[in-house]
Amino acid sequence: MNKTTIEWVKNPDGTQGYTWNPITGCLNGCDYCYARKLANGRLKSRYLANWDIAHIKGEIIDPALRQALNNPFYPRFWPEKLEQPLKRKMPAGIFVCDMSDLFGIGIPEQWTHSVFNFIEKCPQHRFYLLTKQPQNLAKFSPFPDNCWVGVTATDAQMFIGAGHALENIHAKVKYISAEPLLDWDLGGSGFIATMLKQWGINWIISGARTSRNYWDLAAHNLDGSLIRDRIEMYGKIWTLQPKEEWVNEIISAAEKVNIPVFMKDNLKPLPRTDTPFIQEMPA
Ligand code: SF4
């Protein structure tokens, strides 16, 4: 486990939490994926040395599988890391698989069950789960009480899909991560609030898309001139800022249904700084 700088991953005492990666690699294919860049960069040789990859045990004969072996971001299992949370007695907040998606495409269910086996052995910790494949959550519900279960929704369509999936699972905390917030035309805070209440959502996170490379952000947009107006520096990185009305709609909706919102620092200028709901965690 490593200490993390992910702002919303907090220990129960409010200090920064940890990441835990017993599974790495992902086939979800998000074009803004920072984990893929890391896997192909400084982690490449370490990841390629692990042959415990999805669907492969023993002899490698299939060329497609051979190719998978040469892809550092292909799903890999690290059973030796499973016990890491057990070794920490102080209650911690642990983000599970920030280099993968625990419920993602190509992740064997058996691996996910192995991770849950250790989550259940650590009731002192809070485990943050986050997926972009919400249709796979129901197979693992009900979730242990020490799991906060979230779905990423970068746009309106994903928001609806996230909500329907979360509505149908049992978890103590259910959250939606609108990060990166890319497109959010949902028709106003009233609709969002109604859906949040109906789905039983307890928390919302939001943040901007980031990159070290300006053209990563500028090149992906249909209306380049408009979108480029929303690209700003944040420290040493570039951000694609969401429209201010999208952010304010999320905050207003959360206020209406009385749930906390965590707005990442990279949303500049931080909207509605008067609201008491910003940068809070569920109780
Ligand atoms: S789900 Fe996460 S790890 Fe997988 S490709 Fe998307 S951003 Fe990367």
Buried b (16+ CB within 10 A) or exposed e, 206-235: bbbbbbeeeebbeeeeeeeeebeebbeeee
Instruction: Please say whether the beta carbons of 183 and 156 come within 8 A.
Output: yes
pLDDT at 70: 86
pLDDT at 267: 84
From 75, 240, 260, select the one nearest 154 (Cα to Cα): 240
| Cβ of 38 less than 6 Å from ligand 1 | no
Instruction: Collect the ranges in the chain with pLDDT lower than 50.
Output: none
Does residue 181 lie in a domain region?
Answer: yes
pLDDT at 97: 97
**Total tally of structural domains belonging to the chain:** 1
Does residue 279 lie in a domain region?
Answer: yes
pLDDT at 171: 97
pLDDT at 214: 86
Does residue 162 lie in a domain region?
Answer: yes
Which atom of ligand 1 lies nearest, measured to the CA of 133? 1
Does residue 246 lie in a domain region?
Answer: yes
**Shortest-distance Cα residue to atom 8 of ligand 1:** 33
Does residue 193 lie in a domain region?
Answer: yes
pLDDT at 63: 66
Which of 98, 101, 131, 177 to probe ligand 1 with, by most ligand atoms within 8 A of CB?
Answer: 101
Domain that holds residue 244: 133-283
